[in-house]
Each structure stands twice: as structure tokens, then as C-alpha cells.
Copies of this chain bind each other. A is one copy, B any other.
């Protein structure tokens, strides 16, 4: 891992960009902390630069609560090399939505499963690097982003102790099956009227999770309309489980 830039934000947050191989990422830590802090790995839908304003807002909240926060670019997104197969799947999704048709299972699988297979080991390598820094300790929370990545990470990565998931993207059926193996505490946000989201699939996924502690927190509004108090509840969830 190489740090490529560093700046101090106005509220005592140190923001450092890094690369891990060819994967760009950003790390936010408290400028001064008495002891190593737990880490929240933040997901996003792809396009880290475009998502920066929302990511830095979430990171500032996390640092204020006593965590480090980090994110990496998704495969085939942002400045990373593309993939013809993924471009084709994205075009198929757009075509279906524009035609007012349901997005078929086949398209969802082609869009999401390669992403999960590629992104999860990259997240794990990122944890290897970040947890070797003296200012960061475990445990790790995973927050938001493509929910299928969160599901797989929760199954395969024992350093993830709790996950706050956002039911806001397509979920392959095989991932709903994987969800039965998840046992860590979960806090699941659902925007009830999310125009790009199948509510019943989200409820099925929530039902499938094997975790004894799982909370579904459904609020009104569309994809980007998560109310501030829902963010507060998610922060309390991480504080309960990572400290």
C-alpha cells in the first residue's frame, strides 16, 4: 500500500489517498487518537470520485464516533480498466429499465456475481494492509455499498464483526442463499420507495440472513433519501458492536 496524498480536513480528520496495486482508495483517521481505533470499511456503488462528497460525509461521521474509515474503488468503475462483459450487463439493465421491464435473473447474475468475486478479495487485501497500520486495530465493520459484496464479505471474512447494509441494489438468487450463512450482527437499511430496488427481494434477503441479531430499518423516500436519524441509528449499531 502506498500513500499518494495527504490532507488535514477542518474537523481533525486526516485524509490519505492510497493505492494498493492498481486499486485506488481513501483512508480517513482521527488526527490524534490515544489508541488504535476500529475500522469501518465503506462500500459505494462504484465511481469513488463521483461518490466522494457522500463518502467524506460518512467518513467524518465515523471518525467523530471514534473509528477509522476507508474505501476503495470497485472493479471496472471510476478510473479502473473496464470489462466488456460488465459493460454489456450494465447496458442490458438500462435497456430493461427504459423499457419498463423487470431486470431478469440472468442479467442480475452477469452484473453482480463477477463484481462480488473480484471485489471481495480486494477488500480482504485492503484489510490486510490497513490493519497493519499502527493507528488502526480490529474489529472491522462493513458499511453500505453493493449489498451482495457485503453478504459475501460477511460470510468469508472473519475480521468483519458487524455489517450495516443498504438494500439498494440488485441481488442474485445465489447471494440470497449465501445470506443464510451470515451470522454476524446486521443493521439493514431499506428505502421503502426506492425506485431502483425490488422491495420484496430486499425483504426476502433480510429474512434469509442467518444472524441472530439483525434489524431492518425501513424509511420513506427514494434511494438517496435516507433520513439523518437512520444514519444516527446505524452509528449506534457500530458503536455497540465494534467498541
Contacts and interface: CB of A to CB of B under 8 A. Distances in A.
Interface of A: 190, 192, 203, 206-207, 211-220, 227, 229-230, 232-233, 236-237, 240
A216 B192 contact: yes
Contacts of A214: 192, 219-220
8 contacts: A190-B216, A192-B214, A212-B220, A215-B218, A217-B217, A218-B218, A229-B236, A229-B240
Contacts of A211: 220
A162 to B, nearest CB: 13
A142 to B, nearest CB: 19
Contacts of A233: 233
Contact of A230 (B215, B218, B219, B227): B215
B213 A220 contact: yes
Contacts of A216: 190, 192, 216-219
A89 to B, nearest CB: 31
Contacts of A203: 203
A62 to B, nearest CB: 19
Contacts of A206: 192, 218
Nearest to A193: B207
Contacts of A227: 213, 215
The 6 A-B pairs with the shortest beta carbon distances in the complex, nearest first, are A216-B218, A215-B219, A233-B233, A214-B220, A217-B217, A212-B220
Contacts of A237: 229
Contacts of A219: 214-216
A18 to B, nearest CB: 35
